[in-house]
Amino acid sequence: MSIIIEDEQMNNLRMLPRIVLIACGSFSPPTPMHFRMFEIARDYFKTQGTHNVVGGIVSPTHDSYQKKGLVAGTHRFAMLKLALQSSTWIKPSDWEIQQTEWSRTLSVLQYHQNHMNNYINSPLESDMNGTLPGWMPSGLRERQDGVQLKLLCGADLLESFAVPGLWAEKDIEDIVGNHGLVVITRFGANPEKFIFESDLLTKYQKNITLITNWVPNEVSSTMIRRLISRDQSVKYLLDDRVIDYIHMQGLFNCKT
């Protein structure tokens, strides 16, 4: 009986609108919490029964992005690939770091959305001229309907929309209106109030999904870099393969 129920649940899940989650950031280095956000979001949508999360994409920012502690994109992408070896559905994308300059978040979303649309709508015998990118979620052609790309982020990114001059209002409107936000918040945070105080975010409130993370993890990339530069252990805070790579490449002022 339990097998029948599970089969019915899987069939119901496959019939739901499909979404892919994308997270943009520095990932210098990538921490387990970066990936936990994807799992938290997928569990939420599965429990709510509203959407089927069919893929996750991690997009590290371009080297020209001015941020302290940012190592070369090739290193960050390599660390992401190592950290995500155990995941069957979250994949890194190197599109941003391959560009000639920093890309706006909206441009990143549009590129990946358009590429997925083209793949779904192209003839089945076609494989995008043999150039199918590694980040492309598997099974997209199992259904002919589209898939929507949503920006996965923390509450800090949501609140950054209010920082003068940081975001173009048109970009915010396109991101929230055409793609949507999935915001992982901490217990005790009040993102609803922030949304209420913004006319633009209130206008597209139905496209903003707020999810509380009940198991907070305070380990940040900044903290990891600090520990490494002080020659202190980060074991169990990062994937062992990422730690080995950091020491092998001498990143973050580590003592080799």
Cβ-based neighbour number of residue 133 at 10 Å: 15
Q: Which residue has the higher pLDDT, 126 or 98?
A: 98
- Provide the token pair at 201: 């975010």
186-242: pLDDT as tens digits: 888 889 999 999 999 999 999 999 999 999 888 999 999 999 999 999 999 999 999
In a domain, 45, yes or no: yes
Identify whether 166 is part of a domain. Answer: yes
Q: What is the pLDDT of residues 159-175, one digit of tens each?
A: 999 998 899 999 999 99
pLDDT at 124 over 80: no
Residue 66 has pLDDT above 90, yes or no: no
pLDDT band at 7 (very low <50, low <70, confident <90, very high): low
116 has a pLDDT exceeding 60? yes
Output the CA–CA distances (angstroms, integers) from residue 30 to 33, 77, 187, 228, in the order listed. 8, 9, 23, 14
Q: Quote the pTM value.
A: 0.92
CATH number at residue 246: 3.40.50.620
| Cβ proximity of 255 and 227 under 8 Å | no
- Domain extent, residue 70, equals 2-250
Nearest-angstrom CA–CA distance, 94 and 133 = 9
> Percentage of residues in the chain with pLDDT exceeding 70?
92
The average pLDDT across 76-94 equals 98
Half-sphere exposure for 102 (CA within 13 Å, toward CB):
11
Find the range with the poorest average confidence among 41-55, 74-88, 117-131, 177-191. 117-131
In a domain, 139, yes or no: yes
Q: Which residues contact 8 (CB under 8 A, 6 or more apart)?
A: none
Determine the residue type at 211: I
255 belongs to a structural domain: no
User: Considering its fold, how many domains does the chain have in total?
Assistant: 1
Long-range (24+ apart) CB contacts under 8 A made by 248-251 are 249/75, 251/29, 251/71, 251/75
Report percent pLDDT > 90 for the chain. 80
Which pLDDT does position 44 carry in this prediction?
98
Per-residue pLDDT of 25-37, as tens digits, reads 999 999 999 999 9
Q: How far apart are the first and last CA of the chain?
A: 57
pLDDT at 125 over 70: no
pLDDT, averaged across the chain: 92
pLDDT over threshold 80, residue 10: no
Residues whose CB is less than 8 angstroms from the CB of residue 18 and which lie 6 or more positions away in sequence, other chains included: 51, 52, 53, 54, 143, 145, 146, 147, 148
Helix (H, G, I), strand (E, B) or coil at 132: coil
Inside any domain, residue 19: yes
Residue for token pair 């609140």? 159
- Please name the residues in contact with 19: beta carbons below 8 A apart, sequence gap of 6 or more: 45, 51, 52, 53, 54, 147, 148, 149, 150
Evaluate whether residue 246 is within a structural domain. yes
On whether residue 135 sits in a domain, the answer given is yes
- Could you tell me if residue 256 is inside a domain? no
